[in-house]
Amino acid sequence: MHHRRFLTAISLLLLSGVCQSAAAASYKLVDLGIGEGNAINNLGHAVGTLYAATTETHGFFYDGTNVSVLTSTNRYQYATNPATGEALYVDELLTTADGINDSDHISGSARYYAQPSHLPYLKIGKSVTHPYEDKDPFYDCARAVLNNHDVVVVTSSFYNGGGYLFHWSYAINDSNVVGGASAEIIPGSSAGAPKLAPRAALSKIGAAGILHPSLYQPASWDVQFLEPQPVPNGDILGDRGPIQHLSSVLGINNAGHAVGHRRFGLTHRAFIYKGAGIEDLQPLAGDDSSALGINSKDEVVGTAASLLGNAHAVLWRNGIPLDLNDVIPDAGGWLLVKASAINDRGDIVGSGTLKGATHAFLLSYVATDPTPAPRLSGKNYFGITVEGTVGATYRIEYRVSVSPEQWKPLTTLTLTSSSQFYLDAESAGIPQRLYRAIQLP
């Protein structure tokens, strides 16, 4: 007589490979002082802005060992003493440091003491020059960045009339391709209240000397918009509706790959552009994210909302986000909020909070064993338990559905215990199987 037993199968996920630490990279955290880290070069040297005890700010330079405040020997004659005829001067203050190239040349914004407006500067060694002194109609410099050819581009509040506002310039690569946002007057808006439509754009500028994009109509230096013309929604630079686009390029590498963010309502969404359209980057946990920097390996840094809605510094590799707070061995009270730039070695500069104050930080990449980390791969299998007489032999059969069909032999099994487990090695990736056991004579 043949005894039949119908068996219940359970699905198992089996992992192969060796498990090791989830973080492939190791970092050393360096506190650069109270302020913000803005840029880093391939030497690991960084620049940013330090906050003084007053409302004043100062650009800083980190040489890999020490942080120093940037200074200028320039002075500005603001008046003459009427009694003595003596010239009266004020000193120039380098209030920010926004960019640094691989020659340690630095750009940023400066002002003269007691003067409200800022102008861009280029600092080479002890020399501080102003690239646009001979043609400087703009009102205030908000940001000045440079490339390895000392070409400086500026974001300012200049309005050039015509059909464009101007190009906000946030980044430039060594091919003089500028990343930022260009604004157009939306067709159909009234002359008295034009609706501005800034959207992500790349712009190729000409030889050194044509440095200030706001001095020229963007059409004369080849604007490439990354998003289509927006539809007006009655708001100037305001929240965009489902189809209105506001976006900016905030970083670019020498391959022309650009990163930035797109605005949706009150939130931003990080993106990368590699020449074939904008690709959104995966968020960390919340809805808000912004990509601020990119290196030659297409590693992207920025900021993104955590599950609780707090801003966290983020590194994207292959589009997958990593919370940089998870790579600090001992946080020591730090919360890394924003990663501003990354160099080709993987060093990252940005800002975070420590003991209630905003601090600039550097995450210095620490090389690890070059042996590639093992990868885990998983497959689903079915496993069954056969209960019967010790020493008895059973033929295990299967079929794939409850509908009438032929049972197929799988294996024979001689029980060494009254309950014995069997893994069906042929079931990988199969959604379901039915099993039965038939005792053999």
| Per-residue model confidence as pLDDT tens digits over 255-273 | 999 999 988 777 889 999 9
pTM score over 0.85: no
| Per-residue model confidence as pLDDT tens digits over 387-429 | 888 889 989 888 887 777 788 898 998 988 888 888 888 877 7
Contacts of 12 (CB under 8 A, 6+ apart): 380, 381, 382, 383, 423
Beta bridge partners of 378: 15
The mean pLDDT of the chain is: 79
Residue 416's SS3 state is coil
Task: Look at domain 26-366 and name its CATH class.
Answer: mainly beta
pLDDT band at 366 (very low <50, low <70, confident <90, very high): confident
* pLDDT higher than threshold 80 for residue 326: yes
**Rounded to 5 degrees, what angle do the CA atoms 62, 66, 72 make?**
60
CA 420 to chain centre: 53
**Domain locations in the chain?**
4-18+377-439, 26-366
Mean pLDDT calculated for residue range 375-387: 75
Torsion angles phi and psi, residue 324, rounded to 5? -70, -15
